[in-house]
Structure 1
Amino acid sequence: MNRRRLQRYLVLSAVAAATVSLAGCVVEPPRTRVEYREVKVVQAPPAPLVEAVPPAPYPDSYWIAGHWKWENNRYVWNNGHWEQSRQNMVFQHAYWNNEGGQWIFHPGRWVQINNTYSAPPVVINVAPPPPRVEIIAPAPSPNHVWIGGYWRWNNGQHEWVNGHWEARRDGYFWAPGHWVRNGNSWSFSGGFWQRY
């Protein structure tokens, strides 16, 4: 074997050995630590802004409404956006709550659906249309929650139920009605008030 071939053989052998030794390794990406800092403000938040909701990108899109956040000693609007719906989960929207004369911010988060109602689950093989774009009027007060519209399965077809404002219920949040794709079928989740 000449010298050049030997060098090439050694380099390839080293690469092969490194590949085999690292094949079983799993490199975990660095974890992003999200710190929740409790925010207490004396000034009440403004009523939610009217948002121009863009068309949904897919049938099982899930609208996460915007909210006010406290930044640099003032309220700043955080825009809403579409996300992919999650199986057996609902997004608990961010909200402000008056506790003892101070407004406390509760950030939004995905939570498990805890359906205490005894309604049978709705599972169909017909994809719903994408959620409609709704004109959301200004909230009657900061204590109101937007109940977004959704497609309801009724008599063998999808029928749109318009959104509306409702007064917030103490100890509950609105679990929005939405469709989730599960293989070739679609299941309906949410559409009720859920305990925190």
Structure 2
Amino acid sequence: MLSRRSLLTGLLAAAVAAPLASVAPGEAEAQQWGPNPNRRPPPPRRERVPPPRRGYVWVPGHWQWRRGRYVWMSGGWVPARPGYRYRRPDWVWRGGRWVYAPGGWYR
């Protein structure tokens, strides 16, 4: 059986946490800075590309915008898709701001 004190403690904790839960992580920064940055991303880092792997394509690293700053995402191997080429992710200047163009497969 719940005691009155533990019930009140639980209700108080829920009342404090509810407004915090309505804002997703990084959303406050997104509201302040927008979902995309207004400044140019840093130049790509030089990565040591491992020896080729049969049936895989090397996807180079790139910068992503997270929580109000650029974060480097290291490259890696992805399974090849016969008849397709991989376009690396990039940042493009569009509409007066930097926009992330995700990489992907195309014919």
> How does the TM-score come out when normalised to structure 1?
0.35
Aligned length: 74
Superposed counterparts of 1:113-132, under 5 Å? 113=107
Superposed counterparts of 1:5-20, under 5 Å? none
User: What residue ranges of structure 2 are gaps of 5+ in the alignment?
Assistant: 1-33
Question: Please, which of 57, 77, 81 is the counterpart of residue 82 of structure 1?
Answer: 77
Does the Cα contact within 8 Å between 1:97 and 1:103 map onto a contact in 2?
A: yes
Structure 1 stretches (4+) deviating beyond 2 angstroms? none
Alpha-carbon distance in 2 for matches of 1:64, 1:44 = 22
Superposed counterparts of 1:1-196, under 5 Å? 39-58=35-54, 60-111=55-106, 113=107
Report the Cα offset of residue 110 of structure 1.
Answer: 1.6
Alpha-carbon distance in 1 for matches of 2:94, 2:66 = 20
SS in 2 for 1:96: strand
Q: Residue type matched to 1:70 in 2? A: W
Report the Cα offset of residue 100 of structure 1.
Answer: 3.5
Q: Radius of gyration: which is bigger?
A: 1
Q: Quick check: which one's helix share is greater?
A: 2
Distance 1:105 1:39, change over 3 A: farther
How high is the sequence identity, in percent, across the aligned residues?
A: 35
Distance 1:46 1:77, change over 3 A: same
CA displacement, residues 10-67 of structure 1 (integer Å, 9 cap, x when unaligned): xxxxxxxxxxxxxxxxxxxxxxxxxxxx942101000100001112232x43111111
CA displacement, residues 63-93 of structure 1 (integer Å, 9 cap, x when unaligned): 1111100011100011111122111111121
Say what the alpha-carbon RMSD is for the aligned residues: 1.8
